């Protein structure tokens, strides 16, 4: 049995997230598995490093699958390039040890959120990949709020996760906020992120930048441990899984 690792990029606009559902074509995992099963004539289970939500994109998603197929890596690569839809692309393929698991072996992830901040000027050619905010954002206030999320903390207030049995403690090592003209990017690095956690943190930081929340109010959100106390959930179309760290 061989273990094959894939590095993938995809446009998440027409998919209901990564995780397989009933309809094959509705998720990224389901679509790739379908192509792999046609190629190998085997039941394939593709393990992804992270379950990106509906509409979220990836620049460097990692996945692996086991197969008895003796097809060469170049042959598998050629097949995937030929039969995967245009909005899913294989970046890298390699054979890895049998025990490698793309999610369980991951040490961390990097995410990117993109904002277009201009009162009237539209970014028409990239509008599907930016959150357009017309009111001016206070970058310094946003950076102050971002600092509160750095470190090992309980992020229960900043996730859509409903299970009380699963730990909500995570470590964020970096939230870098960069501005270049009308473009603002939020760059996240951490050991792992809960369901919608990046988007809730992003929405909270945006509200600080708009003056709708204060930095001190964000600090209090950690103590209250209630999702209803945090900011809004930023839309998925501007979020990208950049890289998985091993």
> For residue 82, what is the DSSP state?
H
CA angle in degrees (0–180, nearest 5) for 48-107-243: 60
Among the options 11, 53, 154, 191, which is catalytic? Answer: 53
Q: With contact defined as beta carbons under 8 Å apart, do 198 and 225 qualify?
A: no
Catalytic residue at 191?
no
Residue 2 near residue 99 (C-beta atoms within 8 A): no
Residues annotated as catalytic (active site), given as ranges:
53
């Amino acid at each position: 049995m061989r273990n094959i690792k894939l590095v993938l990029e995809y446009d998440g606009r027409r998919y209901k997230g990564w995780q397989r559902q009933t309809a094959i074509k509705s998720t990224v995992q389901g679509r790739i598995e379908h192509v792999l099963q046609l190629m190998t004539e085997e039941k394939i289970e593709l393990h992804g490093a992270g379950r990106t939500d509906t509409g979220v994109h990836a620049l460097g998603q990692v996945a692996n699958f086991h197969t008895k197929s003796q097809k060469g890596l170049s042959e598998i690569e050629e097949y995937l390039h030929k039969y995967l839809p245009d909005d899913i692309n294989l970046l890298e393929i390699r054979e890895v040890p049998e025990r490698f698991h793309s999610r369980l072996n991951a040490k961390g992830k990097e995410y990117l959120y993109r904002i277009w901040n201009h009162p009237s000027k539209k970014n028409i050619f990239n509008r599907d990949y930016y959150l357009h905010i017309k009111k001016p954002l206070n970058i310094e206030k946003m950076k102050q709020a971002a600092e509160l999320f750095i470190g090992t903390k309980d992020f229960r207030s900043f996730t859509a996760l409903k299970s009380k049995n699963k730990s909500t403690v995570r470590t964020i090592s970096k939230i870098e906020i960069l501005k270049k003209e009308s473009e603002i990017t939020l760059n996240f690095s951490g050991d792992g992120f809960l369901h919608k956690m990046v988007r809730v943190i992003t929405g909270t930081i945006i509200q600080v930048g708009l003056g709708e929340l204060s930095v001190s109010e964000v600090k209090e959100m950690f103590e209250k441990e209630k999702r209803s106390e945090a900011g809004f959930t930023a839309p998925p179309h501007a979020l990208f899984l950049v890289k998985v760290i091993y």
